[in-house]
């Protein structure tokens, strides 16, 4: 359901914002199963529809990463990460461990998260703060409209301490994800084009 300007303005009023009923992760699962939503800081957010370009870039990055990482990692496309107050759904997540260990539970953190920011840049940056708190070692926000990639590293409880912005095309190197050859760091070359 879309909010009108009046409805969203209501959230700017501190007394109303303080009275919001927050959803726990368990409540979120109970009430939203099968719906295209994310839980961000206890608030259920309807996911935006994905453009063909968004789908293409996310799938391409997933395929490249899945083909290059070491077997001790699993790569998820549109798989949830569960934290104490949130359950964001990154476009791509590289997590430590075997895929089978996530059969009945979502990962609580990741080695690398990739978000494709079409047209969700501000939301993806908010999610980046959640990822940092969850100890996600690295977060890439791919911005095709701007033809750049924001790379966040060194997670802290207040967000990421390190931020690099690269213009595309660029070779992206992950500091935390080893490739099939062991010390492999060069993960993917991304070319962002609009249209």
Residue 85 belongs to a domain with what CATH number? 3.90.1570.10
Report pLDDT for 179.
64
Report pLDDT for 162.
95
Assess if residue 21 is contained within a domain. Answer: no
Assess if residue 13 is contained within a domain. Answer: no
Token pair recorded at residue 178: 């080893």
Report pLDDT for 8.
57
CA distances from 81 to 33, 87, 88 (A): 15, 5, 6
Report pLDDT for 194.
42
Q: In which residue ranges of the chain is pLDDT below 70?
A: 1-11, 15-21, 178-195
Report pLDDT for 106.
95
Assess if residue 94 is contained within a domain. Answer: yes
Report pLDDT for 21.
64
Assess if residue 9 is contained within a domain. Answer: no
Assess if residue 138 is contained within a domain. Answer: yes
Residue 84's domain spans which residues? 48-190
Number of domains making up the chain: 1
Assess if residue 152 is contained within a domain. Answer: yes
Report pLDDT for 186.
44
The rounded Cα 125 to chain-centroid distance in angstroms is 9
């Amino acid at each position: 359901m879309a909010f009108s300007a009046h409805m969203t303005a209501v959230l700017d009023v501190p007394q109303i914002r303080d009275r919001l009923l927050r959803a726990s992760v368990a409540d979120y699962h109970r009430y939203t199963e099968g719906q295209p939503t994310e839980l961000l800081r206890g608030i259920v957010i309807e996911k935006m529809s994905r453009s063909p370009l968004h789908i293409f870039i996310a799938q391409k990055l997933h395929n490249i990463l899945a083909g290059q990482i070491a077997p001790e990692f699993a790569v998820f496309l549109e798989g949830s990460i569960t934290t104490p107050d949130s359950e964001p759904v990154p476009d791509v997540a590289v997590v430590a461990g075997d895929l089978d260990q996530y059969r009945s539970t979502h990962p609580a953190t990741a080695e690398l998260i990739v978000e494709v920011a079409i047209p969700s840049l501000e939301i993806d940056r908010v999610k980046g703060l959640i990822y940092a708190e969850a100890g996600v070692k690295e977060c890439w926000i791919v911005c095709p409209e701007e033809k750049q990639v924001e790379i966040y590293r060194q997670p802290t409880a207040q967000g990421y301490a390190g931020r690099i912005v690269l213009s595309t095309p660029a070779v992206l190197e992950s500091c935390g994800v080893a490739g099939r050859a062991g010390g492999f760091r060069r993960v993917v070359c991304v070319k962002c084009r609009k249209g």
